[in-house]
Amino acid sequence: MLGASMTDTANIRFEAFVGIPYAKPPVGKLRFKKPQPIEPWTEDYNATESKPACMQKSFLLPDQPVVGDENCLYLNVYRPKGNDTESLPVMVFIHGGGYFFGSADPQLYGPERILATKKVILVTLQYRLGVFGFLSTGDAQATGNYGMLDQVMALKWVNRNIGFFGGDAQSVTLFGESAGGASVQLHMMSPLSRGLFQRAIIMSGSALAVWSLPIEDPLALARKQAKLVGVSEADELTTAELVDVLQYLDAKVLTASMPYLRTWFEHPIVMYRPTVQGAFVPVEERFLPDDPRELWAEGRYADVPIMIGTVPNEGAIVSLAILHNETIRKQFNENLKELLTPVAALNATPSVLEQLKERYFPNSPDNNWISEENSDQFTKMLSDAFIIYPTLKTLLEYTNSNETSCRETTLYSFEFVGRHSFSSLYTPSNTSYGVCHQDELPYLFRMIDLFPDFPPDSPEIEMSTVWTDFLVNFAVHGTTQEPAASCKKSIKMVKFENAKSSPEDASSSPVSVSSGSGLNEELEKIHDFWNTLYSASYIAYH
């Protein structure tokens, strides 16, 4: 295999093998089918050019064209040079993007920071997205979860082949952010992913979040999708006919139609999600055999060490677009009862409205919860609902489970404010909105497509080193296993933030890392509030 040479952040060269196929192109008759093993190639494979993303249309940036290709099942392998003595631990990254956009392009998820540690081999992968990754008819005709099965196949590829690159197939850390983090948690629960990884890092995502919970009526969604692309008799077709029609439609037309599945503005954000696979799928092919809430609560998952964490303003990815569009904000304020369903997956009974208002908008008039003045409260409500609460639920059920070993589990909070923020992509303004969803990523990956490099010797460079080391060290050393006799399942909290600078101490680090043990009272309150709310009033996005 021919690779290329790249340079890490310390100007040391490393090897990059990009665009390696791990499954047959899922096109034609293979659209809406599980991934198929690839034929071995007979001559040298040229792994020097990055391949197109999977088909997608990002809603985050206005007027985005349809990009990508259906032939997109590729992965990238990056390894330090001159590593011939012992095999290195492996980190496998699953990108986020709400299961409908994103890619493993080195211009977006650049390996330079992780490779500068020289401690691990990094693999980044692509998987089918949106309708192509998750369409299901709820029966054997289209069984859903193709994007997740793609990830499983990529993990199997790593298991079989990473040894040839000098990687240790028995020391794999699976990590992902947002929908990629939810995916990592789903792999812990999936019988198909057993034994393919030994540690997990879940960043700003959770399989228990409302935007990742299973589609409840996948066939209704499939019919709705068909109608959007002009299949007028979609409701009358058998599921076999429906899949047949959708299999031959132009991929760009299908992709372009997906945003029209949403019922209000950009909501529900995530229409295509993983589905529970029942008796219509052979047992050995069921990626998700039961509802993730049941699987997780009952401890039916791989007992591997996990690290999990969030940033303060996760909800900005959704809130800013509503806050900065007066028409949309007005609609939301005037139709709260109806719109809390597509936005927050809540049945907004009078009691639910009262609890939300009391907790987040105590001083607002009933008909105008959200204004310029309390916009940060709206962001906080969505941060708590979408990411913070499901993260805490994930963590508490894991540490309280009889099925998990005695070990310390880290909950991190990344609160460092730097010069670049994804908020500049969520809303066209130069205002600072604090640390928003995805803002920890540029300190771990070089994201040259989105942000210019940090200047040398800047606080951001220091933060990148500290943050990357933190995650890589978990991949290398795991976590401390407690002796079973004194079984302590503790939670360690680690916070990354800007150091309070003092003028007389110019030599001090611009980065502050502090740690403590156990959840603080505020986090427990957030967990209990939303747990009560969603237990009684959850309505799946549809």
Catalytic sites, residue numbers: 178, 314, 437
The helix (H) or strand (E) run that includes residue 513 is strand 511-517
How, if at all, do strands 491-498 and 511-517 pair? antiparallel
Q: Say if residues 393 and 527 touch (Cβ distance below 8 Å).
A: yes
The helix (H) or strand (E) run that includes residue 148 is helix 146-161
- C-alpha torsion sign, points 519, 522, 528, 532: negative
DSSP state of 386: I
3-state secondary structure of 244: helix
- HSE-CB of 328 using CA atoms within 13 angstroms: 13
Q: How many CB atoms lie within 10 A of CB 296?
A: 23
Rounded CA-CA distance 466/469 in Å is: 5
Q: How many CB atoms lie within 10 A of CB 479?
A: 17
Q: Say if residues 387 and 395 touch (Cβ distance below 8 Å).
A: no
How far is C-alpha 13 from the chain's CA centre? 30
Rounded CA-CA distance 144/131 in Å is: 9
Per-residue tokens: 408? 């310390």
3-state secondary structure of 137: strand
DSSP string, 248-264: HS-HHHHHHHGGGG-SB
- HSE-CB of 394 using CA atoms within 13 angstroms: 35
